[in-house]
Amino acid sequence: MSDLMPPITAPDTVSHVLADESATARCAALAELKETRRRTSDDRATRRQHERGKLTVHERLELLLDEGSFRELQGLRRHQATGFGLETNRPHSDGVVTGWGTVDGRTVCVYAHDFRIMGGSLGAAHAAKVHRLMDMAETAGVPLISLNDSAGARIQEGVAALNGYGGIFVRNVRSSGVIPQISVILGPCAGGAAYSPALTDLVFMVRRVGQMFLTGPDVVSAVTGERVTTDELGGADTHGTFSGVAQFVHDDEATCLQEVRRLITFLPDNNQTPAPAYHCTDPIDRPNGRLVELVPTDPSRCYDMLEVVEEIVDDADFLQVHEDWARNVLCGFARIGGQTVGIVANQPLHLAGVLDIHASEKAARFVCLCDAFNIPLLTLVDVPGFLPGVDQERGGIIRHGAKLLHAYCAATVPRIQLIIRKAYGGAYIVMDSPAIGSDLALAWPTNEIAVMGPEGAARVIFRRDITDAHDPEAALAHFTKLYRDELVHPLRAAELGYVDDVIDPRATRCVVADALSVLRTKKTSLPYRKHSITPL
């Protein structure tokens, strides 16, 4: 039996463990076998991994999990395939380490590819280990984390490897909205393997290390004639900035895994439990005087909404999701009064905070994520409308905007809308207005809610008067002021009942915290259906 294994340090082979009749000796030999397998006999493979700028699988697990908490599952499993040289290459673990441990004392299940063993490629035994762990995570109701660093399907095992991927995909979908699923790309993730991260809730990537693509550079060059590097085609910046596949991008593995730990602190274990609450040392009634200085009253002037968010939340701690993609809208996790809250906000620094195709998709997915895991939503509104243009219309801005509208309408978690400044047209409705179900609508005294901006509205309503006027510019200014004073003044929406309260910006944190406290016990019911039909 020992001649079928890769060599390990003598004399602790499997046959030696089985031959010794002493229970104590067997235990000692088995422990040494596991430790030897953990180190791997091929020091060259470890050196090559480090030369690529990558950590080994066990180094990654030590960074991700609490010290000493990892318990491995099926560490001695080996593949049973034959042919193409596989019968003489049957390493324990089969290229993937699976098990559970804790992050900040909370249990998580994790599987991690070991690129040193057969390139971390997936065969039938490898897949079966992952399937078993995924089933355990779903049954136990704990988050699932995958550390991806794999050459893909094991070619020598043919259809068995492809079937293994199918089993992973169906489990990703079955657990969607049931337990948090987090993918970390720490090496190649190509072909069909890329679909599992795409099916999970949140994706982390490391620059110069992780790559994801369906067809590699050689195939792209052969088919289209385009020459592109692996990193240009599917690197971290590509997916973090252009495609939107990756929600988080980091420069090194240590920082990335530390941020995965940070993310876990904002999320619940499953959809039946609340997100963990933390002791809040930041006073709830802390005045927000700085907000008055941050936000100009002139609706045409830009400012950084990120500073507004950080002023409102606990300790300015805001974990952005998709920081570099669709930057005209902010999405992310924070705490107010020690409780997790999801924040969606227009960002005036980029495209004036307008909603376009990518911003709509980004916000819609985030709203769905928060709703699935019972995380209240705070929506900060300063939106001039949807982005006009031929490309946007042909690209389906109606359909993509409807995704955000659908996400908000379907959300049953506590929802608070806060209008910071302008809220025009259909974008006002879509950004969680009372008409689509927000539980509380607040506004600052700088708010302007209207079908369109005052000047544009004046040009439409008083077009003839302006054209016939002796001084059209003065007439336009007059009618713009008239429209603003009559229909867009800060108290207009409150007078009509479309805003529940116009609040002092300096009291924003206190008011929002009180509202979240009241809404925490919110209960709602929906009509029976198998599922809604999202405008994908």
Residues forming the active site: 191-192, 426-427
Q: Residue 264: which of 376, 58, 55, 107 has the closest Cα?
A: 107
* Backbone dihedral region for residue 40 (phi beyond 0: left; psi -120 to 50: alpha; all else: beta): left
Kindly state the tokens that stand for 161: 């490897």
> C-alpha dihedral over 362, 368, 373, 377, to 10 degrees?
70
DSSP code of 312? Answer: H
> Which amino acid is it at 413?
V
- Which residues of 139-257 form beta strands (DSSP E)? 144-148, 181-185, 188-190, 202-206, 211-213, 248-250
State the Cα–Cα distance between residues 209 and 215, nearest whole angstrom.
Answer: 18
Backbone angle region of 64, left / alpha / beta, with phi > 0 → left and psi within -120 to 50 → alpha: alpha
* E strand or H helix at 484: helix 472-487
State the virtual CA torsion across 365, 369, 372, 373 in degrees, nearest 10.
Answer: -170
Q: Which of 468, 467, 419 has its CA nearest to residue 440?
A: 419
SS (H, E, C) 504-535: CHHHHHHHHHHHHHHHCCCCCCCCCCCCCCCC
| Angle, helix 305-312 to helix 508-519, in steps of 10 degrees | 60
Q: Which residues pair with 386 in a beta bridge?
A: 355
- Dihedral sign (CA 198, 319, 144, 273): negative
- Is residue 482 within 8 A of residue 306, CB to CB? The reply is no
Q: Name residue, tokens 């904002």.
A: 266
Q: How far is C-alpha 478 from the chain's CA centre?
A: 48
Give the burial string for 504-517 (b: 16+ CB within 10 Å, else e).
Answer: ebeebbbbbbebbe
